[in-house]
């Protein structure tokens, strides 16, 4: 048996990586904030719900509580450094859009801006907040979605992996992306 005990339970979250990494935008178009996040997921098809896990220590937490919305922006692998930087500084002290070259655009239905360089982006309005240990889950209803032109291979939103390279956080400051060399398909 090759499976062995991992005694560092505190760091067991690394055992679930790599994770598709996003930048959560919050605040307003005029006063935006951006924060890297790997702890996020879909929760429901109907209604379409998406959640992000955020510590109350973060400036993003304060802004989402204040405005009641957020956007989930998925940048290409080539922009992984921007993802890293947004997770390395606080929006209280730094205008991350200006400092890190993030291009903002107005969202369709929320206060928070969208990052124009994104492959895809989801606009979410908060419908519930759940305390989970030292983080809170912001559960948002997806009220609008964006996709870069020419990257989808189906009306259902499948990404053309030959045209995009999403950014995945491996942990400890390392990022990876997908390869199209082996795709398994099941019918």
Q: What is the pLDDT of residue 128?
A: 98
Lowest mean pLDDT among 14-18, 24-28, 71-75, 88-92: 14-18
Q: What is the pLDDT of residue 149?
A: 95
Q: In CATH, what class is 18-176?
A: mainly beta
Q: What is the pLDDT of residue 183?
A: 63
pLDDT grade for 15, boundaries at 50, 70 and 90: confident
Regarding pTM above 0.85, the answer is yes
46's enclosing H/E stretch is: none
Q: Which range in 52-61, 148-157, 158-167 is most confidently predicted, on average pLDDT?
A: 52-61
Pick from 184, 180, 176, 175: which is nearest to 164 by CA?
Answer: 180
pLDDT grade for 167, boundaries at 50, 70 and 90: very high
Cβ neighbourhood burial of 34 (10 Å; 0-12, 13-18, 19+): buried
């Amino acid at each position: 048996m090759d499976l062995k005990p991992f005694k560092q339970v505190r760091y067991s979250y690394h055992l679930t990586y790599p994770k598709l990494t996003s930048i959560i935008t919050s605040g307003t178009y005029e006063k935006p904030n951006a924060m890297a996040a790997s702890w996020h997921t879909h929760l429901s098809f109907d209604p379409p719900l998406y959640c992000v896990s955020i510590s109350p220590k973060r400036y993003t937490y304060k802004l989402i509580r204040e405005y009641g919305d957020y956007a989930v922006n998925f940048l290409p692998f080539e922009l992984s450094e921007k993802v890293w930087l947004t997770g390395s500084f606080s929006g209280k002290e730094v205008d991350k859009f200006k400092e890190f070259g993030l291009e903002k655009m107005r969202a369709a239905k929320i206060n928070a801006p969208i990052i124009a360089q994104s492959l895809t982006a989801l606009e979410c309005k908060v419908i519930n907040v759940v305390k989970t240990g030292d983080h809170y889950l912001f559960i948002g209803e997806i009220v609008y979605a964006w996709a870069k032109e020419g990257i989808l291979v189906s009306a259902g939103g499948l990404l053309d992996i030959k045209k995009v390279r999403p950014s995945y956080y491996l942990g400890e400051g390392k990022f990876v992306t997908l390869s199209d060399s082996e795709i398994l398909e099941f019918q």
